Structure 1
Amino acid sequence: MGGQAGRDDGALAGRWALVTGASQGLGRGCALALADEGANVALMARNREKLEVLAGEIRDRGVEARVLVRDVSEIDAAAADIADLPHLDVLVNNAGTNAPQSFLDVDPETFDRVANLNLRAAFFVAQAAARRMVEQGRGSIVNMSSQAGHVGLKLRTVYCATKFAVEGMSKAMAVDLAGTGVRVNCVAPTFVRTEMTAAQLEQPEFRDYVDRNILLGRLAEVSEVAAAVVFLASDRAAMVTGTSLPVDGGWLAH
């Protein structure tokens, strides 16, 4: 990947990464962690103001940033944005949502909204990225899954359904792309305090449920999830494909 802009140090020096859902939470943390490893970062999300602030922080690290104001559910437009990137070595397929409901209360509109973003958009963003990477003969796709892609969680039947699907999709992608130089993996975090989870984590009954199940006794940090993403994105994980890396504090161990 020589000849590209970027710092000369770091595990991803000079490479281009795309992060979806980059304006906040895990996406923002992943974008900064990739930049810290020398990657130039394309930032895709709907909120221009937040993306511009983040892009400034990334450029302060001595690498390039590109702002892509896009709803990833706009499949054709998102694919066109990806095709227009100067290069693409890493995709962090992070955009997602949740709408906690009891299974008996789930309505079709909520199901469609969560599934459309978490699965359909993730699938076609990954497809567009993979096409670029196959042409180049190299790349790493990291799909943001969840511990909810491995076990059932309270009030999360739709979310679990989409994340189990992302896990299976990632394995099948890895099989199809084997031999092309493109690796595909998942990162599966436990609960992290972000804009999406903060309100629920303030509820005592739910927080007790979370604390009882994370064996290490605390929430995960954004930086800890981002570190797993950086590992899978880099050549340090050159022999890793078709798997999932939990960052779950032991939730899945019992």
Structure 2
Amino acid sequence: MRVPFVKMHGLGNDFVILDAREQELPVLSTRAIAALADRRTGIGCDQLVRLEPTSAAEADFRMRIFNADGGEVGACGNASRAVALLHGRPARIETESGIVSAHPSDSGVDVDMGVPRFEWESVPLAYPMDTLAMPVAWDVLENPAAVNVGNPHVVFFVDRQEDIPLEHLGPEIENDQLFPARINVNVATVTDRGTIRLRVWERGSGLTRACGTGACATAVSAIRRRLVDNEVTVHLPGGALQISWDGSGPIIMSGPAQESFRGEFDLQDYL
């Protein structure tokens, strides 16, 4: 069976998108998704995204997101921007974590990412602790903030994020027993009141050029710690995102997305 796809990216965070809103497409197994995501033997991507019709009255369609290891996750900011660009007009998108609103704009796409959750059981953590300054450490990384922005994140503020061996510490922290659902790991340096530099180890995918939910998690954590103002530019290896948060309402993320190419694959090659 030949399956059509669209390859897109947001600041280098790339996706294989299967659009099953108006045509019937197979539901892929975890193994098939991981095989498609492989950059040597598959199409290659950080996430596979599947669009489907929705039964939710308040949504236009449903988006399901699968990391490169085949595991399903609740939210992806960069994927939301890519899907909104593909849709071509404002959309309310049903995700596992709730409804996301996206609006194409002159600068790319603006996405309402919803209200962040800071309760320890909402992150989730294995046991109660202060999520603004957690009394834990891994090597040189210590006292992180934790937040759920549709998926779970832990944020470390350091003097020089580029010096942190995230390729080694990232998987250790991601799989620590403190995080029963695993965790996305962010290391950030605040440059000034309006600027943050960030690298992300993404749960189930590894080091990534950009992570929209990571930028949101880092920005709101910095705002809570009074390190930055309510509007901040987050610079990732793939480019910059604009994040605004008033301290209580939804997070607004703005940034570009782009279509790379279209094609199709033979499903039998990935079973």
TM-score (norm 1): 0.29
Could you say which structure has the greater relative contact order, defined with CA pairs below 8 angstroms and 6 or more residues apart? 2
- The answer to which structure has the higher strand fraction is 2
TM-score (norm 2): 0.27
